[in-house]
Structure 1
């Protein structure tokens, strides 16, 4: 992945958005201080570029944790519904190529890789749901175990009736209300 950098005014605008979101949602990161996160971000143009891409596609990234072992802050897409700029896509390239007609524009794994983020796992998705109400009208592809994917399936999650549901579909399926959420470590 080639190193990208935001223009100074773009960087300032993104940091302002991230700080406002961070301060409005302190329940997501109780013991984390913004100044520490900001220092990490300002020192890493490549990660800021990725966070901007997450923001531009509707993800509303926010800090959800800190990894003591690696010293990294963990960002998840925290938009109320699956990011608008990442919907109507199938699961992966194999699924995309298997469609003979009515192909979606892309796949979740392709888009995530191009952006530099990782699809949430089922465990991460469930942890996200402890921080608020997400995907009450949409759904999000999550990382799928190889055994399921080999058989043609893929997993997605949503939250209905105050409960997280994990479902399966053919990996080549796509719906207007299904996208994906990603994570990034900084």
Structure 2
């Protein structure tokens, strides 16, 4: 498994807007998905060992962020011709298996991933209520095989600060680590 870190998009970057479908072909506009305190956008996929490692925690993460007034959505930008396990049909199965209570969207053009400078799965981007990037980086220090529990500590600490109107300190923002996004090559 390739170990690719986040690209660490500059803080303050405006939320890239897009209108993406979920596997049922319902469209979701990112700019209309902001909660009263913000929005978490995560890039995930169905097959990556790093995503599978945190997948059982994603429902809990959603619940905790929702209590803070922060909405959540996930985006899959992988090339499904080369990686059919990441197809929209398989996304539906993944969402059902892990009881994902948030939209799981498909970026078929990969343009949305590029607009976020997303590099890996999972990759996390937390925006404030005005759509300005406040946190990007790891969920926590847990990785497959390192025996650390998945707690969401880094992201949840930033979210709690954000919900109180405090900008999370950049010094505490560490890159996420995961499989590289599976880019389509023409």
TM > 0.5? no
TM-score (norm 2): 0.24
TM-score (norm 1): 0.24
